[in-house]
Amino acid sequence: MNQSRITRYLVNIVLVLLAFILLTFLYDTFYPIASVFFYLLVPIIFGIYLYYAFRPIKLWIFSKTGKEGLAALLAVTLFFIIFGFLLFFVVKIVYEQALQLAINLDFSAISESDFALYELIDRYLPTENIFDNAVAWVQEKAINFSRRLPDLFSSVGSIGSQILLIFLSFAYLMKDDALIKKGLNGFLDKEDKKERLEQKEVARQIDDTLATYINGQITIALILGMLMFIGYLVIGIPYAFLLTIIALVTNLTPFVGPIIGTVPAVIVALTISFPMVLKTLVIAIVIQQIESNFVTPYVMGSKLPIHPFTVIVVVLVSINLFGVIGVLIATPFYLCLKIIVTYVVHRIERNSLS
């Protein structure tokens, strides 16, 4: 009986691999289906992020009121209040600073600098050509973007429907998460009580992993965002709020996010002077050390042990497969997959021994 179960698992794995290979050959045929799948997948992923971010608030309200429906309603209402604030205030400031940055982006100041490091670099590299090419590239991209504005406005309906799907996914998860868990329990092993308990434990571990990761990364991103904003104000770099928002978003990805978030600040600093570049790098290094030695250990603890190199590899592979959305799903997907694979391997080993 155990051998037949192992054989069935192996056959299922082989069939999944064969189906994946077949889909690669029939990519053009299944492209419309894949497009619809990813069109629905993206808002669901954002909805899951929002659900885990606001679930602690729902649970806290439920502990005070004892009414789950009211707790879900108040948590969703709080989200829309925060979303409205971000839309009418934060987005407005970010848009204005981004527009000013696009207009005023100029690397000529650095080429006219009398800083000793620039003279040393200029002795071996054609920095003037590099800066000219950089400006030309930015201008070309700006022109291409302006030409594609009609296409952008034609896709507003699509963007609006995506946002609506995100809100609906979030609201549905907040309202009916208990029903969803009950429905998922129906897929568990109904014959073996021990296996059913183990599968419930796997589901609980996945739920705890997603909650810990998403809430932890949001908390870390907010803390690092505040520290970076203070640091940028101290050194006097322009567009501090815009650069902070960029860093805050990229910090949602562990390890590689802070590095990516520093790049725009360095680019802006290059338009001022090399001393400003050095100050920006010092701020980034100091905050990175604070994050790795104090913030992350305090927020995450040892709940999600994962090596930085693993995160980098997983993120790079996920970006190549899924694009920008891969940055959000890479690490939590790997952590959940690790739990499932560990359970399957443990079950196969146990069945083979018995």
Question: What would the pLDDT profile of 147-159 be if each residue is shown by its tens digit?
Answer: 444 444 444 446 6
**By CB neighbour count within 10 A (0-12 exposed, 13-18 middle, 19+ buried), where does 283 fall?**
buried
| Across 182-210, average pLDDT | 78
Give the Cα separation of 299 and 223 in Å (integer). 11
| Across 199-228, average pLDDT | 87
Q: What is the pLDDT of residue 152?
A: 42
* pLDDT surpassing 60 at residue 121: no
30-39 long-range contacts (CB < 8 A, ≥24 apart) are 38/322, 39/162
Give the Cα separation of 36 and 161 in Å (integer). 13
* pLDDT surpassing 90 at residue 18: no
* pLDDT surpassing 60 at residue 125: no
Q: How far is CA 133 from CA 16, 128, 271, in A?
A: 48, 9, 14
Question: What would the pLDDT profile of 283-329 be if each residue is shown by its tens digit?
Answer: 989 988 888 788 877 777 656 667 777 777 777 777 777 766 777 78
| Across 192-210, average pLDDT | 82
What band does 262 get if pLDDT is binned at 50, 70 and 90? confident
Q: What is the pLDDT of residue 165?
A: 86
Residue 97's closest CA among 259, 225, 275, 238? 238
Q: Dihedral through CA 264, CA 268, CA 270, CA 276, nearest 10?
A: -100
- Segment (H or E) for 15: helix 2-25
| Across 18-35, average pLDDT | 63
